[in-house]
Chains A and B, each alone.
Chain A
């Protein structure tokens, strides 16, 4: 059972206007493509089609037959960080970048501490974390990007930006238990209306998530795993952390994740050139990032 706060997403109230996507971008100063006419058409209302390095939240669309002559079961879903109680990303993070906010339970991050290892990517059962840079686009040091739960807003007595903008009340924010009660009550209403597959998602999964979903249609219409799990190896890394320290965890975790994902993990060695404020790849000699101190960069 989780505690603290929760965002409740009620798919049965969502009008899929994507106002939350835009509000997220605006509040968190996340850019959108500026190059003229570069965005492709993907044949769907789901735009962008998935989370990306500058998109922390998307509304998903899925069309299924309803067995009737007219209409369909059109499922609107929400894809973003689930803010797990048993957060694999926090467990896997060797640098202390990802952390649980004790008061709310939200999983936030300290960008400055991100070392770009991307363990969190491999660890997350929801395939949520994305990285700015280091992904071939900017060819710079990767830094994690994902929903922070608008922890900055919450700490100042406000709801997350996505919640504030939601007109139909599909998004709510409050105490975890209260949100769960609202969700359960809603599911009963939906079942009474004939939506037999209606369910709460997030109460039990990975220790309880701080984003609770009310799903109107069967689970397969939402981009959510049926049984999200934290890998036992990541769990092991987590209890080793306080004993062995960050560096060792990085080593073990690196090996472990290489095994888990089947992809050889190699983190390039970097060196910092203090004179020119450049971060340089030791092996290739390439300047992967220039830190503009005058512009306030760190």
Chain B
């Protein structure tokens, strides 16, 4: 989230799309209701009429997988009707920037410039700006970048500062504005309706209601979740919502932003910690063989020429000091070489890829730690078969999950499976202390309420036991990459026991000289601005800097920002800066410079985040997310007058409409789902995204519309959680939702001779499951390109395990194991099936 849950109350218009926020994020209801009480309009766009839709002012159906068409049409509508926020777009975005010669999108091929058919990738050099001039960093004494030449800082050549060509009038045909305008001019109301399936009247009603937030004083927020992300172009789904928010001036303001509602209570924290293959903690890039084989190469490839990411070497060196402690010195590049490097085929090690590697016999062991992939991952029957080729499997979880019991799935023969399965009982969240990060980036301390049951241990204790044994074995016997193991700093003990408070010191960061974990003496940093690249500071995850910074009470989380419970609310915007800690730097609404105009006056005087009074940024209800003052050599500060650098996490410090950041598109473009009922893409000549991941793997068995004419999607219900491994252990939850079901329209039910409550067989090339029918008017057939398209929806909370409620049918046996080329997320939300009465 760019904002946080409480901020929903400030919105004039709320658009929920790709989320069922009342059901799956119940706490959101509290803040949405407050917005509605204050007169807000709520729009819900969803393939089915959900419990969320039941409360909306406007409900609009949509065919699953067509969100880019929907939002592309909205962009076209906003531009055509001149509803965009001019001052915001002209000053804070890259609309005025001129693109490199050769940048192009060709609807005749459905491809952007730079496509290489042989590799299936884009050469993205034309996706950059045309450069007017290049300048150097001032690294001289007293210069802005003097730190680069200080003793202890690793040697690297600073990036050239690129000044892009611009056209302030936005008339140049190669400026971002004109290119974007042209790009989305194809997305007419008629075409969007043909693709998405709603009628024009409803679509225009939605567009008009949401585009009204283009007025400077109005704010609109978009709530989304897995309905947007779980597509083969899921990252671009997210990006096109960003484009809409920028056009309407809705990013960086109270009641605005783009708000990803996270599911698992700590999934935000898991993402922060770099659970994805290509990430390093704090959203840095994990070292890889091609662009960052050395520390110098990492610094040179990752450090931005402008904005806050000019500081990346400070974050990386401080992180290496935490990974390797005293062993990390400038002479050995802070042990950078000891970190494993992501190989060129790094994507093969993402979740779906690992099952390919198991299937081919390459991967022989697997840790499933808090996940249940033989139920929750796509084409899960394939995953089960692949898993049976493992030599060993370790499952750490609260209960015996289906993954731990994969060998006795209904379609498996236990006698043929040689995999040794180890089950490590893990403590419940209430049985351990530590931090938890919510969707709004708030880090909060959670205290242990009860001791773990039986032999269950907190995850960090399990990890510590494993780690200690691994180090012992490496020290005794050596082995490949032994140095990478034996040089690691691992001293997170208090009173001889592994302790999350000591881990918090490492996350927050500290001065190396004044700190000794063993004696409990720590010199904690106040925040990440104190980080240095010379080896004198240590910090495992820079974005957490400042969350645990009170050196006077290092053992008491209640005395730390993370443990705060203050209720002050300056501006009465629900910011609550004294409640817990919001990374980064306790900012509640990021990009908040954009909440005020070019002169620093808030767009809306009732929603002031920051305000320039002519002399200084006197009002700071939120922590400024921009350079609002500079600190002089004598410690005094000088205010920085308003400028246009509202997005200082980008090198050009302007928000991007066109971007080179993603693998598959410079501007989001509509492609059909991997399995689609459409014969052609009505917007360009390419049916599927050219960059779909794993589409050609033999396990995928792509289905076509002739054989499988029904669009299917999957989702959760509020009563159960994910694979149900935990929630089906609660009889009270089974009582309120006893069976897995398929929702279908009365029209389709009649066509297939299915009555409400019947057993229905749902099948495609990958699998076949029998579910209970829930026939409801809440699902309507859609008119798509002149044809009636039926859609069905299935929940996926059951498997063959559990002592109270089980089901041999696993819905994810049907979903395709293909994904997005940026996030490698699978396409759970749109695929093809057929159904019959069972």
Contacts and interface: CB of A to CB of B under 8 A. Distances in A.
25 contacts: A12-B55, A15-B26, A15-B29, A15-B55, A15-B718, A18-B737, A22-B732, A22-B733, A37-B806, A39-B805, A41-B738, A43-B772, A47-B738, A55-B735, A63-B777, A63-B778, A69-B199, A70-B202, A71-B53, A72-B777, A168-B22, A168-B30, A168-B32, A168-B33, A193-B57
B777 A167 contact: no
Nearest to A40: B738
Contacts of A34: 731, 804
B26 to A, nearest CB: 4
A18 B739 contact: no
A55 B731 CA distance: 13
B51 A70 contact: no
Interface residues of A, number: 39
Contacts of A71: 49, 53, 59, 778
B22 A43 contact: no
B810 to A, nearest CB: 16
Interface string A65-88: 100011110101000000000000
A47 B778 contact: no
A39 B735 contact: yes
Given A37-B805, A41-B739, A76-B54, A18 B30 contact: no
B443 to A, nearest CB: 22
Contacts of A19: 26, 718
A17 B22 contact: yes
A96 interface: no
A49 B623 CA distance: 51
A36 B735 contact: no
Interface in A25-49: 25-26, 31-34, 36-37, 39-45, 47-48
A241 interface: no
A268 interface: no
Q: Sorted from nearest, which 9 A-B pairs have the closest CB atoms?
A: A43-B757, A168-B29, A39-B738, A32-B731, A15-B22, A32-B735, A43-B756, A74-B54, A167-B26
B736 A22 contact: yes
Interface of B: 22-23, 26-27, 29-30, 32-33, 49, 51-55, 57, 59-61, 198-199, 202, 718-719, 731-739, 741, 756-757, 772-778, 780, 803-807
A66 to B, nearest CB: 9
Contacts of B53: 71
A131 to B, nearest CB: 19
A42 B757 CA distance: 6
Given A17-B718, A70-B202, A36 B52 contact: no
A72 B59 CA distance: 10
A17 B806 contact: no
A166 B83 CA distance: 39
Nearest to B30: A167
Nearest to B757: A43
Nearest to B718: A17
A95 interface: no
Contact of B778 (A12, A25, A43, A74): A74
A193 B57 CA distance: 9
Contacts of B735: 25, 32-33, 39, 47-48, 55
Given A70-B60, A70-B61, A72-B778, 4 more contacts: A15-B26, A34-B804, A167-B26, A168-B33
B776 A41 contact: no
A13 interface: yes
A16 interface: yes
A37 to B, nearest CB: 6
B777 A32 contact: no
A143 B289 CA distance: 72
Contacts of B756: 43
B54 A47 contact: no
Nearest to B743: A45
A104 interface: no
A70 B59 contact: yes
Contacts of A74: 49, 51, 54, 778
A168 B55 CA distance: 11
A15 B52 contact: yes
Given A17-B26, A48-B735, A168-B33, A41 B741 contact: yes
A16 B49 CA distance: 14
A74 B773 CA distance: 19
A76 to B, nearest CB: 7
A17 B202 CA distance: 28
Contacts of A70: 49, 59-61, 198, 202, 780
B730 to A, nearest CB: 8
Contacts of A26: 732
Contacts of A76: 51, 54
A31 B199 CA distance: 48
A22 B349 CA distance: 41
A148 interface: no
B23 A15 contact: yes
Contact of B775 (A12, A18, A43, A167): A43
Contacts of B774: 43-45
Given A36-B805, A43-B775, A65-B777, A17 B739 contact: no
Interface in A129-187: 167-169
A108 interface: no
B719 A18 contact: yes
A18 B718 contact: yes
Nearest to B59: A71
A39 B52 CA distance: 27
B739 A39 contact: yes
Nearest to B735: A32
A43 B51 CA distance: 16
Given A32-B731, A32-B735, A36-B806, A167 B29 contact: yes
A60 interface: no
Nearest to A58: B736
A209 interface: no
A122 interface: no
From B52, B735, B741, B775, name the one whose CB has the most chain A CB atoms within 10 angstroms. B735
Given A41-B741, A65-B777, A168-B30, A21 B736 contact: yes
